[in-house]
Structure 1
Amino acid sequence: MASVNMADVKRLRELTAAGMMDCKKALEESEGDFDKAVDLLRLKGAKDVGKRETRTASNGLVAVKHEGDSLAALLELNCETDFVAKGERFQQLAADIVAHILATKPSDVPTLLESDLNGKTVKEHLDEANAALGEKIEIRRFSVLEGGFITSYMHKTDPQLPPAVGVLIQLDQENSAVGKDIAQHAAAMAPKYLSPAEVPADVVEKERSLFEQMTREEGKPEAAIAKIADGRLNGWFKDFTLLEQTFVKDNKKTVAKVAAEAGVKVLAFTRFKVGQA
């Protein structure tokens, strides 16, 4: 079996994003033939696709695509390592898929996976990337907002990596400055819901029950428990609903007040952070 030098191994890894040992073995098996080594890695990748189903894809990126001021899509595409996330092929795949989402507006991830993108299903494109890059590649979630005025903010947690946090903000009318401010706020403060009215009833009841239990265990009078729990629930709304949160740029105002003073209304938002619920 031919010996290989580390420079060739490194070059092969940079080209294919395969693991160092896999690159070394491919070069050895191909007796130093670089093109043949690339083919061997692709073949190995295709065979290993099924084996990766149980592996965790907790890295990746968030990608955005706008069409005018009133339509935008946000996508979280996952992989296993930062190395693949910062690669050109992975980022191009994300760009192609988020553009496809914007054009077709699929109802959910399964529908997206079965849809046609340039003569192949999106799932087939993922499988090809999976084979070529040697990692589990998957679409975790996506969102499409349409109507009004939509702005976005993309945040890099590491300057060497693609954006890991993405936010879409939908306003009822154009205001780029306020839209950007609220998008940046949402990126930093991670609200879960737009307003208290939009929190699902089962979530509200779960939180209220928890607060009642906490209050009871603190020894508070039974007659006061409901009122105290409601107060704590209102505090929870201020922490986890966008409009009730204290605005990061002015702690004397809520996000709702900032929007109202600017003469706009926040209709909806989406916030994705790679690997986060």
Structure 2
Amino acid sequence: MVSAQMVKTLREMTGAGMLECKKALEEAGGDLEKAKEILRIRGLAKAEKKAGRETKEGIIQTYVSQDRKVGVIIELNCETDFVARNEHFNELALNIAKHIAQISENANREGTGEDILKQAYYQDPTKSVEEVIKSAIAKIGENIQLRRFTRFDTDGYVHAYVHGIGRVGVLVDYRSDKMDDRVLRVIQDVAMQIAAMKAEYVDVNSIPAEVIEREKRILAQQARQEGKPENIIDKVVEGRLKKFYQEKVLLEQPFIKEEKKTVGQYLGENALGIQIKRFVRYELGGI
């Protein structure tokens, strides 16, 4: 039995119409993931919106230690855009990011405000992080919530980039043969690339096998529905899989400053021994 709530959830996740969602759920026996695949194969799914996606205002804030060995990115939410631009709110966001970086139990960790609210605040251990936030709420006059955070600890280096007024931010963990202004310029380019092009994986080898198998299955079904002969389906799938890599894989993406080369080629040409280990991209209200 497909409920109205299930149809609503699938619609929020895919952007497809109510009737199409209902039919897909019935065909999938009520399995949401299978229904999503069915919609994608039919070409009905739009950008993959997630159920419960946040629409609050706020800011993406980052902090990197002086030695570049520890980096933090957070999303701090408030109720209005006016407060998001408030000096006290921005200062609170930076101090929370610094707190996460200073407390050893947060090393290489990601989580939500619930994970750190009870911690003694690094600037004043007589207060908890929760008390600091409540004090800011009283001062600013709006509800404030630490929605999520990620901290990288590395034997390489960490770089942070926040785009514009704090709606998108990136944290990159990388290795380099040396550390100078040229390296920083290149890694800044990479961070801007991630922010703009929404890469999800560093390289093809970092894509989980189940993700690749799912894409192959969907691409094969799409090709069959287009009437492609069965004997060329595999070739069609491989060709379209390359496009998937160009969209989702950082090192395979066309470089935004020179689209005739990939990000991987750009890094190689600079001969600085830069190796991207991992990254995280936050967008305000995203997942």
**Structure 1 length as normaliser, TM-score?**
0.71
Match of 1:267 in 2: 277
Cα distance in structure 1, aligned partners of 2:172 and 2:149: 14
Residue of structure 2 equivalent to 1:242: 250
Partner of 1:165: 168
Query: What amino acid maps onto 1:181 in structure 2?
Result: D
Quote the Cα distance in structure 2 between the aligned partners of 1:254 and 1:112: 39
Displacement of 1:134 after TM fit?
A: 4.4
Q: Quote the offset at 1:132 in angstroms.
A: 4.7
Asked if the contact 1:57–1:80 (Cα under 8 Å) also holds between the matched residues in 2, the reply is no
- State which of 114, 120, 125 in structure 1 corresponds to 2:118: 114
- Contact 1:58–1:78 at 8 Å: present in 2 too? yes
Is 1:123 paired with 2:133?
Answer: no
- In the alignment, residue 260 of structure 2 is paired with which amino acid? K
Describe the shift of the 1:144–1:232 C-alpha distance in structure 2 as closer, same or farther (beyond 3 A).
same
Residue 140 of structure 1 deviates from its aligned partner by 2.3
Q: Contact between 1:57 and 1:78, CA under 8 Å: does it hold in 2?
A: no
| Number of positions where the alignment pairs a residue of Structure 1 with one of Structure 2 | 219
The superposition leaves residues 57-95 of structure 1 with CA deviations (integer Å, 9 ceiling, x where unpaired) of: 521111111112232211111122101101123212211
Over 3 Å counting, the alpha-carbon distance change for 1:79 and 1:205 in structure 2 is farther
Structure-2 change in CA distance of 1:215 and 1:72 (3 Å) = same
Query: In structure 1, what is the equivalent of residue 63 of structure 2?
Result: 65
Structure 1 residue 128: Cα displacement: 4.1
Post-superposition shift, 1:201? 2.9
Partner of 1:159: none
- Cα separation, 2, equivalents of 1:115 and 1:217: 55
Tell me how far apart the structure 1 counterparts of residues 56 and 87 of structure 2 sit (CA, whole Å). Answer: 18
In structure 2, C-alpha distance between the alignment counterparts of 1:60 and 1:269, rounded to whole Å: 22
Q: Is 1:141 equivalent to 2:136 in the alignment?
A: no
Q: What is aligned with 1:95?
A: 94
Is 1:57–1:138's contact at 8 Å kept on the other side of the alignment? Answer: no
Specify every segment of 5 or more residues in structure 2 that has no aligned partner in the other structure, as ranges: 1-51
Match of 2:213 in 1: 205
Residue identity (%): 35
Give distance in 2, aligned partners of 1:99 and 1:276. 22
Q: 1:113 to 1:215 in 2, by over 3 A?
A: farther
Aligned-pair distance for 1:131?
5.0
Unpaired runs of at least 5, structure 1: 1-53, 157-161
Tell me: CA distance 1:80–1:225, structure 2 relative to 1, closer, same or farther (3 Å): farther
| Code of the aligned partner of 1:97 | I
Cα distance in 2 for partners of 1:155, 1:130 equals 26
Instruction: Compare the two structures and name the one with the higher strand fraction.
Output: 2
SS of residue in 1 equivalent to 2:213 = helix
Flag the 1:223–1:87 CA change in 2: closer, same or farther, 3 A: same
In the alignment, which of 241, 244, 249 is matched to residue 233 of structure 1?
Answer: 241
- Structure possessing the higher radius of gyration over alpha carbons: 1
Question: Aligned equivalents of 2:127 and 2:78: distance in 1?
Answer: 21
Q: Secondary structure at the match of 2:190?
A: helix
Q: Report deviation, 1:149.
A: 2.5
Structure 2 counterpart of 1:271, one-letter code:
R
Q: What amino acid maps onto 1:83 in structure 2?
A: F
2:281 alignment partner, SS class: strand
Letter in 2 for 1:273: E
In structure 1, C-alpha distance between the alignment counterparts of 2:224 and 2:91, rounded to whole Å = 54
Q: Give the match's secondary structure for 2:68.
A: coil
